[in-house]
Amino acid sequence: MMYSQKVMDHFTNPRNVGEIETPDGVGEVGNAKCGDIMKIYLKVEENVITDVKFKTYGCGSAIASSSMATEMIKGKTVEEALNLTNKAVAEALDGLPPVKMHCSVLAEQAIKKALQDYARKNNLDIPGLTDIEIDDDHDHHEEIED
C-alpha cells in the first residue's frame, strides 16, 4: 500500500496530539471491532476554534487523518469546521488508499460529534449540526474494488 509523503509526515509527526484539560466540546467515534478510535477535544472562544487536540488509537492513516483534520479546523469558526468533509481531509493528505478512506470519515465524524457536544453544553442551535448521522459501525470491506 502506498502512502503519500503527507500521510507519512502526519503519521510520524502528528500535530495537536493530546487532550485539552477543560474542553468546550469532545467527540469520540470509532469502533473497537476495527480498532480505530478517535477522540477530538475543542476549545471554542467567540465561535472560533482556538485550540483542538486529538487522541487516536488506530492505524497510521487514522492518526494522519486526525492530525490533518485538527490542523484544518484550528482558527476556523464553528460553521467552517462543520463544513469540513472527509474528502477534503483525504485531499489535504494527497489522497488515502481506498481501504483507508474510512479513517478520514472518522476524523470528520469526531469533529462533528465534538461540535455537537459544544452546542449541547452551550444550548446553541447550530444549523446543520442536528441532522448529522454518525455511523460508528462502518464496514471496511465495501470500499475495496478489484
Judge whether 59 counts as a catalytic residue. no
How confident is the model over 84-140, as pLDDT tens digits? 999 999 999 999 999 999 999 999 999 999 999 999 999 998 887 766 666 555 444
In this predicted structure, what is the pLDDT of residue 79?
94
CA distance 146 to 142: 11
For 69-94, letters b (16+ CB in 10 Å) and e give bbbbbbebebeebbebebeebbebbe
Q: Which residue among 7, 29, 82, 103 is the active-site one?
A: 103
Sequence letter at residue 10: H
Q: Mapped to the 3 state alphabet, what secondary structure does 38-89 carry?
A: EEEEEEEECCEEEEEEEEEECCHHHHHHHHHHHHHHCCCEHHHHHCCCHHHH
In this predicted structure, what is the pLDDT of residue 2?
83
CB neighbours of residue 141 within 10 Å: 6
Q: Which residue among 34, 48, 88, 99 is the active-site one?
A: 34
Query: pTM for this structure?
Result: 0.87
pLDDT bracket for residue 145 (50, 70, 90): very low
| Residue 61 burial (10 A CB sphere; 0-12, 13-18, 19+) | buried
In this predicted structure, what is the pLDDT of residue 12?
96
Judge whether 103 counts as a catalytic residue. yes
How confident is the model over 8-65, as pLDDT tens digits? 999 999 999 999 999 999 999 987 777 889 999 999 999 999 999 999 999 999 999 9
